[in-house]
Amino acid sequence: MNELFSFLPLAQQAPKLYTRIRFDQLPEGWVVFLIGILIVAFATACYLLERKSPRRWLKPFLTLCRIVILFLVVLILFRPMESRELRDEKLGYVAIAIDVSRSMEFKDRERDEALRARIGEALGVDEGELLDLTRLDRIRTFLRKDQGSFLRELAAKNRVRFFTFSSTRQRMSKADLSRTEDEDQTRTEIATALAELDALAAEGSSTAIGDSLQRIVSDMRNEQLAGIILLTDGRRTSGNVLASAVAARLGRKEVKVFAVGVGDAEPRRDLAVDDLRAPDVTLAGDVLAGSLVVRAQGYEERREATVRVFLEGTKIFEETGSVGGDAPRVAGLFRDQGLAPRRIHAQGGGLRRPRRAGPREQQDQAPSRAGH
């Protein structure tokens, strides 16, 4: 990660004086080319028609002088002018966007020992400490390393603004870094930013990388955006805008997006009973109908999984189906003749290579509310 950050070409934008020569009556390029050919042809003809001189160098010298003089006359006819422009440009802004979706709370267990060693070296922690860090903790650890040296170097050339994102973006209002030569102010701003980073929680329900990037660009439309540093585990789970499309548009404006992946490149295996639904209100004696979804992540091929639904210990539904691979989610329906208020919960029976899903509980009271 250090290597990724070390060559960020984010330059400061400062006021500059631009001086250039322009021609007020310059014709099209093909006309200029034709005039040049005619001048050379005229000088060559004069050279051939001129009588020989005892001084051999005189004829080539006169020919060269004719060419230079004719070119100067033509340039004068084009009316050259000196133009000076003073541009008072804003300092460049670097946006740091940090993923705070729930997947950033995962603790990775990289199987590649060499990779694990390189990550630990970049973060300045040993292997034991690394395994205990969540993905969001790894970002905090890197930004805090050497008293915020990376942020200090970045703020030496640019102003820095922090955002978090999951389903949308949110600005970290207290964490801006301004370019200043006051070391005490820089130290205070970095400490404030790191404190706000420590308070972050990975609670986002989804990850919309492209949509969040687009909103960050929109938020900074009145600023001179020099680049965006994107810190994420890289998994897009929602949103309508592709991050690659936003990066391509920014690239045409010479604004670079530096995407830094955090976490194990191998997909995390996870099986869960999700989106368990039941009526908001049910009465004793009513027929209870509901639905659920089984989601599988990180399985390249389909596996068999069994799901059971219980009402206070009584099994009312059991189904075995294939999930994973090209079918990352499957849905199921269940019904029960309710006789009294009871509690409903779903339980995953596991894959053929056992892996249990976490329980989901919902209320079924008479009359009372059943959670979704």
In a domain, 84, yes or no: no
Model confidence at 359: pLDDT above 80: no
Q: Do 146 and 292 fall into the same domain?
A: no
In a domain, 371, yes or no: no
Q: Do 291 and 233 fall into the same domain?
A: no
CB-CB contact of 281 with 369 (8 Å): yes
Mean predicted confidence (pLDDT) in 13-24: 74
Q: Do 144 and 181 fall into the same domain?
A: yes
How confident is the model over 85-128, as pLDDT tens digits? 776 556 688 999 999 998 898 888 887 888 888 889 888 898 88
Residue 48: which domain range?
25-78
CB-CB contact of 248 with 115 (8 Å): no
In a domain, 20, yes or no: no
Q: What is the pLDDT of residue 29?
A: 86
CB atoms within 10 A of CB 244: 12
Joined together, the tokens standing for residue 67 give 């060419």
Q: Do 65 and 135 fall into the same domain?
A: no
In a domain, 193, yes or no: yes
Q: What is the pLDDT of residue 58?
A: 81
Q: Do 69 and 174 fall into the same domain?
A: no
How confident is the model over 163-181, as pLDDT tens digits? 999 988 998 876 688 877 7
Q: What is the pLDDT of residue 305?
A: 80
Q: Do 242 and 286 fall into the same domain?
A: no
CB-CB contact of 163 with 175 (8 Å): no
The CA distance from 17 to 72, in Å, is 28
Q: Which of 191, 226, 261 is the last residue of a domain?
A: 261
Position with higher pLDDT, 175 vs 302 = 302
Position with higher pLDDT, 130 vs 283 = 130
Q: What is the pLDDT of residue 158?
A: 84
CB-CB contact of 306 with 271 (8 Å): no
CB-CB contact of 108 with 262 (8 Å): no
pTM over 0.85: no
Determine what percent of the chain falls in helix, strand and coil, rounding each to the nearest 5. 35, 30, 35
CATH code where residue 250 lies: 3.40.50
How confident is the model over 306-351, as pLDDT tens digits? 888 777 777 777 888 787 766 656 666 666 655 444 454 555 554 4
Q: What is the pLDDT of residue 354?
A: 36
